[in-house]
Amino acid sequence: MTSLIIITLRRAGLLKGTLEALGRQTRPIDEIVVVDNGPEADTEAVVRAYGARYVAEPRRGYGRARNRGLAEARGDVLYFLDDDCVAEPDWAAVLWNADADFAGGSRVSGRTGLAARLEYLSTDGPVLAPGLPAGSPEHLSTSNLIFRRAAAEKIGAFDERLTMCEDRDWTARARAAGFRLRFEPRARVTHYSSVLRMRDYFARMRHYGLGTSQYFAQRPDEGLARLFPRNPALRLLLLPALAAAGTGYLVLRNLPQHWDAIPLSPLLFPGQLAWHWGGYQAMLRYNSRQ
């Protein structure tokens, strides 16, 4: 039996598109479980209209919602898909045939605005581009993932302390435990970002900086973690330099798939300022708890 888990929060309109596309899969999924992380009537109505199973989880947080989905799903083979992603008709079939313990697919943006493009270039879009070759990554995203329940049980639960990057942590733990991870670009979804204006972009970057910096503080063994000071004062002092380095990193990471990262780099830089401001705030919180 196969189960697909979607976590959602007050995005009934986007969720409708996600569920509609799942009805066109060439390999049907036996069960769709939608975990509503901010229970509301509109979301429940959409879920039930498409024949999916509605689960209310009022305890907020990605980790809590994903753990609830794992507990509720009945399948031996499990998929994760985000509520703002529309899967291609062969998505489930391509992931099913991937030769790995955990397999994740590619993602393209369904938005054409400047703010959404900047977000795509600034987050994990470049490492999920469909033009990239298949391979064995360090971690995978739950926006597009398949795995077996038996493997998930050996890894344990998602870390509910993390604001975000809980999927990065979870799949990195799977790799460390000896499970095979595979990036399969042919398993494609289209992402409909909620970032529509520049202020949305800057707010999202601050949020990502806060959550990712919290993750790096808890996982100092990761290579990138060594680049970010844990001392809040030093983090603030180095903020412009960190933002400049981050912009250069983004440009290089996007090449050669996305050449527009070069002319857009002047706008990526203030986004990186917002990202590292979030990182500074994360270190204030982190050090206050130590």
pLDDT in tens, 131-161: 999 999 999 999 999 999 999 999 999 999 9
134 Cα distance to chain centroid: 19
| pLDDT recorded at residue 61 | 95
> Sheet holding 2-8: strands in order across?
53-56, 31-36, 2-8, 77-81, 144-148, 102-109, 181-191, 85-87
Q: What percent of the chain has pLDDT over 90?
A: 91
Helix ranges restricted to H, the chain: 12-22, 41-49, 62-72, 91-96, 114-122, 149-155, 166-176, 198-218, 232-237, 239-254, 265-289
pLDDT in tens, 190-212: 999 999 999 999 999 999 999 99
Output the CA torsion sign for 170, 172, 175, 177: negative
Q: Rounded to whole angstroms, how far apart are CA atoms 183 and 251?
A: 22
pTM: 0.93
Q: What percent of the chain has pLDDT over 70?
A: 100
**Choice between 227 and 272, residue whose per-residue pLDDT is larger:** 272
- As a CATH number, domain 2-191 is 3.90.550.10
The domain locations on the chain are 2-191, 198-289
| Average pLDDT of every residue of the chain | 95
State phi, psi for 106 to the nearest 5 degrees.
Answer: -95, 170
- Band the pLDDT of 290: cuts 50, 70, 90: low
| pLDDT recorded at residue 224 | 82
